[in-house]
Amino acid sequence: MPATVQLFAGSLTAEIVPSLGAGVARFDFLRHQQRIEVFRPWPESGTSDPNALGLYVLVPWSNRISGNGFSFEGRFHRLTPNFPGEPCPIHGDGWLAAWTVTSADDRSVRLEHVAEGPGPYRYTASLEYALDANGLKIRLGAINRAPIALPFGLGFHPWLPRTRATLLKAPAKSVWLENAHHLPTEQIAVASRPEWDFASFRSLPLDWINNGFLGWNGHGTILWEDRALALEVDTQPPLTVYVLYSPSAEAEFFCFEPVSHAVDAHNLPPGPENNGLVGLKPGRMLAIECTFCVREFLPS
């Protein structure tokens, strides 16, 4: 089993896996000595699959890039698929890399990843997990070390338990529809799809959803009424987009991903920086943070 860094604060515990994208193996709330899972836990025997973790970070971009690459400032940059079964490059390379622990104690851990790719990307990423009695704060930053300016995007990809009593509140203005290759096709107002309007608490869709929601105010709440538990997700720009993913009502998980840009923003008109990516000149940094606060509540 890969080695983990364990964090403790009040009734909360977390485990980080430096060798597997510096992802979160577990994030749990202890109630009367009973472990209540906040993020979906990794398998008891560990895993080498980042998609079996509770959370991983997205750097230097989120989600898929079409067209075998992208153009930026008059130059085409080729990218190749980076994960089995995925025809498009997905999520950058941070989630697949081994990270180096630079400092750690009972409540926090700092890690670093020096990347020589993918494609034209050369960057240094820093990551910090800080646990307190209220929740888990995650900070992620990337410095462009390439000799040219490049479009960067960042995000967080938690995997959350899905129960029949799960409710979500996360107001957004518009949503991208997707095609069979999970690439965006059309942006529509959320109001035109009432079943996807999470301006107030709503159950998750019964069927497939894998869509990017834009115009998000940075605050989301997940309620598990059957577990008397709530998770408050708080962030700020540039994380103004979230991706909501769940295969079906029978799935034991769903994903609520705060990200900085639309899916395939590298190739959407009128250009990467108009779809949330940030053009970083050499030596410049992009940084984000998000807090996952846990609270108990009594169902009405």
- Amino acid 297: pLDDT: 83
H/E stretch holding 68 reads: none
Which residues of 32-121 form beta strands (DSSP E)? 34-37, 55-58, 69-72, 75-78, 100-104, 108-116
Ranges of residues in the chain with a pLDDT under 50 are none
Residue 182 carries which side chain, given as an amino acid letter? H
Q: If you average pLDDT over every residue of the chain, what do you get?
A: 97
Q: Rounded to whole angstroms, what are the CA distances from 251 to 160, 247, 258, 299?
A: 11, 6, 21, 23
d(CA 221, CA 22): 25
Burial of 188 (0-12, 13-18, 19+ CB in 10 A): middle
Residues 274 and 183 sit within 8 Å (Cβ to Cβ): no
- The structure tokens listed for 60 are 């230097």
Instruction: Using alpha carbons, select from 17, 107, 72, 95 the residue that is nearest to residue 259.
Output: 95
Q: Spell out the domain ranges in the chain.
A: 5-296
- 287 Cβ contact list (under 8 Å, min separation 6): 139, 140, 141, 142, 154
- Amino acid 298: pLDDT: 72
The contacts found for 48-53 with CB under 8 angstroms, 24 or more apart, are: 48/2, 48/20, 50/20, 50/21, 50/23, 50/95, 50/96, 51/159, 53/17, 53/20, 53/21, 53/23, 53/24, 53/25, 53/159
d(CA 165, CA 246): 15
For 51, phi then psi, to 5°, come to: -75, 0
Indicate the DSSP class of residue 181: T
Alpha helices (H) along the chain? none
Q: What is the pTM of this model?
A: 0.97
Q: Per CATH, the architecture of 5-296 is what?
A: Distorted Sandwich (2.70)
- Amino acid 299: pLDDT: 64
- Amino acid 300: pLDDT: 61
pLDDT tens, position by position, 132-164? 999 999 999 999 999 999 999 999 999 999 999
Neighbours of 173 (CB within 10 A): 15
d(CA 87, CA 34): 42
Gyration radius of the chain over CA positions: 18
